Structure formats: structure tokens, C-alpha cells
Amino acid sequence: MNAPGEAAPIPTGPPLAPPRRLADLAFRWIALLAALTIVALIGLVGWELYHGAGPAVRRFGIAFLGNSTWDPVTDRYGAWPFIFGTLVSSAIALVIAVPLGVATALYLTEFAPVRIRQPVIMIIEMLAAVPSVIFGLWGIFVLIPWMRDHFFRWLQGAFGFLPLFQGPIYGVSMLAGGIIVAIMILPIVTSISREILRSVPDLQREAAYALGATHWEVIRVAVLSYARRGIFGAAVLGLGRALGETMAVTMVIGNRPEVSASLFAPGYTLASVIANEFTEATSDLYLNALFELGLVLLILTVLVNVLAQLMLRTITGGASGKVN
């Protein structure tokens, strides 16, 4: 008999027998093969990039990452403006898309009447289905003129004391690139955040209400802190897409390999320059340099993901934020 307060032991049976039937074995191996294929594919991409970048890596060394010249005529190449552009445009996209996406997800799970939830979800999913090029075209003909004539001028008027918002306004700019990418990663961030918020157990909310919290306090204390990890994961997924976004960005970012403090200045990203110049690259070193940019992009994506995982561990301290 158990002592009072002790839970009853969970009944366990004999351990499961190892698979003996052919179907079980075959399925196990097929699943293993599928997993290995994916790992092998990533490895193959990385190796192919390294192999293609070989001569450029040997020629330029580590200075490639800090050099700002991109001159196909004299075969001098450097990746710094592209790395800067990729990081800055992705950062702008995250700053815009994550608060917007999480807020939308919160509205859909906490406030929206049940009737309008499905239609709104469908509309957001459709945003994800629009091809990248269409966003780019819409950006050139609709967004850029409006931003150049109204939004950017207002920004310069209101925040012009910051070096971020100084300088001539062309329309195509780093900020325009960031905004377009924000629109593109919004569906991912929103739908994953929504799933995460939906998975918060009602018990958490009820407990917070029972303690006398207001609706906002319930959301802040019980829902958001429980969902911290998941929302961070959604942001990282969005960032992954933002780093690689090519077509829409290249149409609105101005395609100028320059590093500038102003968000209104044109920029260039790693993915855009590869897409623009790969087909017409005639000299071998030129091609190798473009391959090297691809390798840099791959390493950048991996690094950012690793960094995100580390940050996640420190933010949440390993715990999931449950109100116990």
C-alpha cells in the first residue's frame, strides 16, 4: 500500500519486442534513408559551394569578407557590402514583421469572434502563396512611388536628426527592401505564432484569471511567457526566409554595393547579387567569387540559427515559463 499523498505507480509491461516482420524492418530503413538523404543533401550543397569557390577562397582569403570592392573588370571582389545589406534588410524585416505577426496571432486567438477567424487566417495564408516576383513588381510600381513621395518624406521630417533617416530619397532603398521582406515573412510568423498561442493550455489562462489578472495581464503573464520559446522559433524561421529572399528584394533595394548609414540609401544583398550576375559571369574568378558569396550566405544562415538557439537558451533558461 502506498503512503498517503504518493501517486500510484504507472503500470509497465514487458519491453516491446524488436521488429521481426519484414514490413517493420523495411519501414525503419526507409525512414532512416530519408533522414540521411536530407543531411546528405545539405552536406552536398555545402561541399559543392566550397568546391566552386575554391580558387576565389585561396586568392582572397579572409579579407574577402571585409573588402568593399566588387569589380568584375579588374577581378577584384569583396563581400562586405552584401553581408551588410543582407543583415540590415533582414533585421528591418524582423523588426516590422515579428511585432505585427505576434499581435495578429494574439488577436486571432484571444479577441477575434469565431466567425471571422477562418477568413482572416485564409487571407494571411494567401499572402504566403503570392510569388516573390509579384511582390517585387508591386513594390516597384505601387509601394516605391508612394513611399518616396509620402512615407519617406514624413520619416525624414520626423526623425531626420538620426543618421538613419538622412540623405537623398530615391525610393529604392534598404528600407524598401526590408519592408518588402517583412510583408513576405509575415504569413510564416503569424501562422506559427498562432499555432503556438493556440497550444497554450486553457489551464494557464484560468489560473491567471483566478488570481485576479485583467485580460491583458493574462495574456502577458500566462500566454506570452508560456509561448516565448515558440514565438522566438517563429521569428527565427521568418529570419531564415528573410536572409534568402531574392527576387522581391533585388527589384526594390537599388542594387548598389555600398555601405551607408542611411536607410534611404540603396543597398545590395548576397542573394540578389548572385541572382543578378551569375548567368553572365564570363571569367572563372568571377564565377568562383559568386560561389564564394553563396558559401558566405550558407554559413551566415547557419550561424544565425545557431546564435538564435543559444539566445533561446539564455532567454528562457531552459524552462518553458509555466505558471506552476
Helix, coil or strand: residue 77: strand
Per-position x/- string for 45-84, each x denoting binding to another protein as judged by CB under 8 A, each - no binding: ------------------------xxxxxx----------
Candidate list 85, 238, 254, 294; residue touching another protein; CB under 8 A = 254
**Shortest Å distance, C-beta 292 to another protein:** 16
The correct pick among 121, 242, 251, 304 for binding another protein (CB under 8 A) is 251
Tell me how far, at minimum, the Cβ of 247 lies from another protein, in Å.
8
Kindly compute the dihedral angle of the four CA atoms of residues 106, 109, 111, 114, in this order, to the nearest 10 degrees: 150
Q: Are the beta carbons of 204 and 228 closer than 8 angstroms?
A: no
Query: What are the Cα distances from residue 41, in Å, to 36, 51, 175, 208?
Result: 8, 15, 34, 47
Phi first, then psi, for residue 71 (nearest 5°) are -125, 100
Name the minimum Å distance from CB 140 to another protein.
5
- Whose CA is closest to 231, among 219, 246, 243? 219
CA distance 288 to 54: 7
Establish if 145 lies at the interface with another protein (CB under 8 A).
yes
Q: Which stretch binds another protein (CB under 8 A): 184-192, 204-212, 279-287, 293-301?
A: 279-287
- Is residue 260 involved in binding another protein (CB under 8 A)? no
74 DSSP 8-state letter: T
| Count of residues that interact with another protein, criterion CB under 8 A | 33
> Is residue 176 close enough to count as binding another protein by CB under 8 A?
no
| Radius of gyration of the CA atoms of the chain, in A | 25
Residue 224 or 275: the one with the smaller Cβ distance to another protein is 275
Instruction: List interacting residues with another protein (CB under 8 A).
Output: 69-74, 140-141, 144-145, 148, 168, 170-172, 250-251, 254-256, 266, 268, 272, 275-283, 287
